[in-house]
Structure 1
Amino acid sequence: MNDSSGLGFYIPGAVLFLSTLLKLPALVRDPRNELLRSVCLLLALATAVFGCTAIPTLVAVNKITGIPNAAAPLVFSLLTAFSGANIVLILRWSNAPEDSGRTRRRCRLCTVVTVAVIAAINTLFVLGDAPVERLRDLDTYYASTPYIREMILLYIAAHTTAAVTMTVLSRRWARGVHGGLRAGLSLIAIGYVLNLFYDIAKLTAIGAHWAGRDWSVLGVRLAPAFASVSALLIATGFVLPLIAQNVTNKWRMLRRYRLLHPLHQELRVATKHSIDLSAGPWTPIEVRLTQRESDIHDGILAVNPYLRPELRDRALRVESEAGRSPEEAAAVADAAALASAVVAWERARSGAAPAPARATHMVLVSPNSPQGLVRMSLALAGSATVRSFRRSALEESSTR
């Protein structure tokens, strides 16, 4: 079925095995996640398919069991299980919350059919007689042998059905999505088209054998090449969207973390004694972002008594008259009021000015959402209105 060393199968199998190991910690943390379980099962089966279809593995299985061609039903069973796992995963993957009950029923049906086909493959092998070990051309060599013939045809039929089903499901879903998910579904669809070519090559070689011709080269050389590339594309297609989503989420958090820098720096004097949860540059971005947002909220709370509503209202009028959108105007007004409050807070802390007679407990609009915080941070960094209000607050404090 492939080269004698098996490297063409062992190397992709090792890559898939590594991918499986990388997913296991997430599964341990969330063992009830059906989608994650399906992904791990798919990667494990893909690893097993590559590992068990290599020639050295076929030889070892036959030798250990003492049964010529015992590796054949094992490989057919793994490929059938891999195809079934693909269908189950894409059903769960594309599941809408309102269709969860129907999805579970479909997944159970697919699992039952897959198990039944695997049981039939192994039963037919036991009933048949395949005394001569054939590592590369078992399909054509035993194409006319009772029970073994039916085992081969059943496996190819199940494989073809799964390939058609997955191609249709993947292409249909890919039309309505974008980004990494669409790229992954496209790879899956291409992989299953190659699976169809694999099945066509196998059936053509078998049909030629029945017609008295020797076209075994189709099954020996062409079909395994299709299968190898197909399995790799399919596994990559399922993993790619998960990786892309993770990278996208990390990038968004990192971007928000950087955009919040001006606001964090503005309030640094009020939060310099906050508890630092980070552990240097290797701290996960989730922890660093949470720390930064927490510090910002603590800083706003600390300077809240020094916020002056009239300053915010004046800045809001200035920005509204300049044609800013309501969100941008509110962010600039909040930033202007905050910058002035920080100046007043610093003077009170240094003893240069008295603390306010009573707290204002003024509520800023922007901190109510992550995007609002970002807009306020950008206003602190680049708004002329904010610079003007900060400058006025410094001049006012210096004349007292």
Structure 2
Amino acid sequence: MNPSGFPGEPYPVLVFGTPIAVLAAALVFKLPSIVRLWRDPLRRAAGGLLLLACGIFVFAAPPSIAWTNRVTGVPNIAAPLVYSLLIAFCGASLLLMIAWRGGHTGHSARSARARRAMRWVAVGHAGVIVALWALFGLAEAPVERRRDLDTYYARTPFMRELIVVYLLAHTTSCVLTYRLIRNWIHTAGLDVWLRRGLQSLAVGYAANLVFDAAKGTAVVARWAGRDLDPLSTELAPAAAGVAAVLIATGFVLPHAGQYLRDRWRIRRDHSRLGPLYDLLRTATGRGVPFSVRATPELRLTRRETFIRDALLQLARHFDEELRRRAYGAAEELGYGPRRAEALAAAVTIRDAIAARAQCRLPSPQVTDHGTDLLTDLLQSIEAVSEVLSHPDEIEAVRTLATAPAESLHVHE
């Protein structure tokens, strides 16, 4: 048998490469917000946690284990190093969840309990790491094992205790983190993307428990004189890889979801203002110059500003009486209040554009109401823009509104 514990064929890169790639991608995605909001300790902690998780898989890969052992000259010293990183990750995860949830609750009593819990978590995990190195120093493990160290040394004094300590600590920490996340998921009023992120984290930590169960079962089997090593060498690493991907996804989802939702809203609002923008651009003979460097937010702001400026120029031509009659006509045609207001506004704007083109001066009564009417229009530009996509409806309202008075039954 190969002393390294390797089978004849190369170990699949997928088991270690995929989590490293996903964790690195998640870290790169969050890096801009971490740098921009560097004073936020939770963002820094989340970035550090992703970096730590990535480091675990880098150092746990068999080639890295061989390199660490060779550079230090100590056989199997990579074991306590990887286990320490793993315990540190679990402790940091639990600390982050406690702090994260405490920050969202904002309750002073809960915050005080959270701080006490965080101190216990930090001390407990630090104690486990010290114990791992102490046990390794007392153990005799001269044969390098890159993949099956847990089962190979399952009955070796002090190495046996080292393996049991790290598995119990890892299991306990994952159970506590899982329960904390599950309780948080059921909290009312959570943002939908935060809830989805927590769900991904919960499944990720549940997958970590599969890792512990597989490793523990293989170790106990060795104590009983049986060989279930594939559970430790094949199933456990795969479960850890799945857990890493899910945890990385859980940390990224709230930020990514909020980002995508904001982008979608901005583009939706920009598109909704298109019909009104096109109408006013045609009427004024100018528009917003296109800029490749302009962000979606800036494009939306420029479009809104242009529409408001154009409506301000048309304000002196607004006909309040026409708007009142158009609203009554829209109601008579069966439209609800909000739709009727938007249709009446569209009729008024089109009439103002025509009046301006014909240099038709408004009556004093119209001028008196122009400012109030402009204020109302500026508060509903999206609704007005939407109805401009239905010219048949606008024309029907305008026709009825401008018909002889006896043919229009306006409901005051």
Deviations 1:176-207 (A, max 9, x none): 66865555444333332222121112222222
For 1:197 and 1:73, locate their aligned partners in 2 and report how far apart those are by CA, in whole Å. 21
Q: 1:15 to 1:266 in 2, by over 3 A?
A: same
Deviations 1:23-67 (A, max 9, x none): 212221221334433432232222212211111111111112222
* Aligned residue-pair number: 386
Deviations 1:273-316 (A, max 9, x none): 5664x523x74322222221222222222222222222222222
Contact kept? 1:42, 1:235, Cα under 8 Å: no
Given the alignment of the two structures, is residue 57 of structure 1 paired with residue 67 of structure 2, yes or no? no
Letter in 2 for 1:377: S
How far off its partner does 1:16 sit? 2.2
Contact kept? 2:388, 2:394, Cα under 8 Å: yes
Q: Which residue of 1 aligns with 2:255?
A: 242
Given the alignment of the two structures, is residue 218 of structure 1 paired with residue 220 of structure 2, yes or no? no
Q: Which residue of 2 aligns with 1:398?
A: none
For 1:123 and 1:323, locate their aligned partners in 2 and report how far apart those are by CA, in whole Å. 82
For 1:314 and 1:394, locate their aligned partners in 2 and report how far apart those are by CA, in whole Å. 8
For 2:381 and 2:36, locate their aligned partners in 1 and report how far apart those are by CA, in whole Å. 31
Deviations 1:89-120 (A, max 9, x none): 44455553534773562556544544443344
For 2:125 and 2:10, locate their aligned partners in 1 and report how far apart those are by CA, in whole Å. 31
Contact kept? 1:307, 1:337, Cα under 8 Å: yes
SS in 2 for 1:96: helix
Match of 1:229 among 242, 246, 253: 242
Matching of residues 255-334 of structure 1 within 5 Å: 255-269=268-282, 276=289, 278-280=290-292, 283-334=294-345
- TM-score, normalisation: structure 1: 0.82
Match of 1:163 among 174, 181, 185: 174
Contact kept? 1:308, 1:341, Cα under 8 Å: yes
Which runs of 5 or more residues in structure 1 are unaligned?
396-400
Contact kept? 1:339, 1:386, Cα under 8 Å: no
Given the alignment of the two structures, is residue 44 of structure 1 paired with residue 54 of structure 2, yes or no? no
Contact kept? 2:26, 2:249, Cα under 8 Å: no
Contact kept? 2:330, 2:340, Cα under 8 Å: yes
Contact kept? 2:319, 2:352, Cα under 8 Å: yes
Q: Which residue of 2 aligns with 1:196?
A: 209
How far off its partner does 1:271 sit? 6.0
Given the alignment of the two structures, is residue 31 of structure 1 paired with residue 38 of structure 2, yes or no? yes
Q: What is the Cα-based RMSD across aligned positions, in Å? A: 3.4
For 1:65 and 1:243, locate their aligned partners in 2 and report how far apart those are by CA, in whole Å. 41
Contact kept? 1:17, 1:47, Cα under 8 Å: yes
Q: 1:100 to 1:108 in 2, by over 3 A?
A: farther
How far off its partner does 1:262 sit? 0.6
For 1:272 and 1:123, locate their aligned partners in 2 and report how far apart those are by CA, in whole Å. 80
Q: Which residue of 2 aligns with 1:86?
A: 93
How far off its partner does 1:230 sit? 1.9
How far off its partner does 1:12 sit? 3.1
Match of 1:361 among 364, 367, 371: 371
How far off its partner does 1:211 sit? 2.9
How far off its partner does 1:82 sit? 2.5
Q: Which residue of 2 aligns with 1:379?
A: 387
Greater mean alpha carbon deviation, residues 144-153 or residues 328-337: 144-153
Q: 1:83 to 1:347 in 2, by over 3 A?
A: farther
Q: 1:394 to 1:28 in 2, by over 3 A?
A: farther
How far off its partner does 1:139 sit? 1.7
Q: Which residue of 1 aligns with 2:406?
A: none
Q: 1:125 to 1:194 in 2, by over 3 A?
A: same
For 1:115 and 1:275, locate their aligned partners in 2 and report how far apart those are by CA, in whole Å. 60
Letter in 2 for 1:361: T
For 1:196 and 1:306, locate their aligned partners in 2 and report how far apart those are by CA, in whole Å. 72
Q: Percent identity?
A: 39
Q: Which residue of 2 aligns with 1:7?
A: 13
Given the alignment of the two structures, is residue 76 of structure 1 paired with residue 87 of structure 2, yes or no? no
Contact kept? 1:163, 1:193, Cα under 8 Å: yes
Greater mean alpha carbon deviation, residues 145-154 or residues 192-201: 145-154
Q: Which residue of 2 aligns with 1:338?
A: 349
How far off its partner does 1:264 sit? 0.9
For 1:380 and 1:36, locate their aligned partners in 2 and report how far apart those are by CA, in whole Å. 45
Q: 1:107 to 1:293 in 2, by over 3 A?
A: farther
For 1:93 and 1:320, locate their aligned partners in 2 and report how far apart those are by CA, in whole Å. 52
Q: 1:364 to 1:30 in 2, by over 3 A?
A: same
How far off its partner does 1:366 sit? 4.8
Greater mean alpha carbon deviation, residues 290-299 or residues 88-97: 88-97
How far off its partner does 1:79 sit? 1.7
Letter in 2 for 1:131: P
For 1:87 and 1:190, locate their aligned partners in 2 and report how far apart those are by CA, in whole Å. 15
Which runs of 5 or more residues in structure 2 are unaligned?
404-412
Q: Which has the higher contact order (CA 8 A, sep 6+)?
A: 2
Q: 1:167 to 1:285 in 2, by over 3 A?
A: same
Q: 1:190 to 1:11 in 2, by over 3 A?
A: closer
Q: 1:72 to 1:299 in 2, by over 3 A?
A: same
Q: Which residue of 1 aligns with 2:407?
A: none
Deviations 1:322-347 (A, max 9, x none): 44333323222222222222222333
SS in 2 for 1:381: coil
- TM-score, normalisation: structure 2: 0.80
For 2:329 and 2:375, locate their aligned partners in 1 and report how far apart those are by CA, in whole Å. 17
